[in-house]
Amino acid sequence: MSPYEQVKTKLTNLKISFDIVEHPAVYTTEEADKYIAGKAGVRTKSLFLTNRKKNTFYLVFMEDVKRLDMKNFAEIVGEKHIKFASEDLLMKKLGLKPGFVSIFGLLNNKEKDVQVYFEKSIVGNVPLTFHPNDNTKTIFVRMKGLEKFLNDLGYEYHVIEL
């Protein structure tokens, strides 16, 4: 089963509604936005981060036009230093390559050791956009559906101001 089929099957089994837009492979939110222009949804940026010791992991979702203040996020989570996780850690923890980071990578996190954070401004009733573990598609899912998905996998999430 392809990574996208895995996501689609999980959402369908959980009765979570979603929309899909297919497009050429993209590696940035700016590229993806060109193909979903005019469709209602919050364009998100998905960041996979770690602490200095590489023993705590964070998946952060925010508006794609915003930049993450790493120092501020480190303070929020009680760390001295936060950085982007390496390509190796991304593959090990989420089974994803750079350019594919998504909430749906949590399907591959057997250890359940990734903490999930949503920036407050994106949490609401408007669908959020993600790659469904495949960068040739953009999926639109409402927060209620994402909550159901996270709960089913055994994850808690945090809503924070960045």
pTM here is 0.92
pLDDT digits (tens, 9 = 90+) for 44-77: 999 999 999 999 999 999 998 899 999 999 999 9
Q: Which domain holds residue 88?
A: 3-160
Note the maximum CA span of the chain. 42
Measured over the CA atoms of residue 140, residue 84, residue 115 and residue 9, the dihedral's sign is positive
**CA 39/CA 16 separation, integer angstroms:** 19
Residue 48 pairs in a beta bridge with 59
Confirm if 7 and 139 have CB atoms less than 8 A apart. Answer: yes
**The pair of three-digit structure tokens given for residue 159, joined into one six-digit string:** 């809503």
Q: Give the pLDDT confidence score for residue 162 in this predicted structure.
A: 85
pLDDT band at 132 (very low <50, low <70, confident <90, very high): very high
Overall domain count for the chain: 1
Residue 154 is part of a domain; what is its CATH number?
A: 3.90.960.10
The rounded distance, in Å, linking the Cα atoms of 35 and 17 is 21
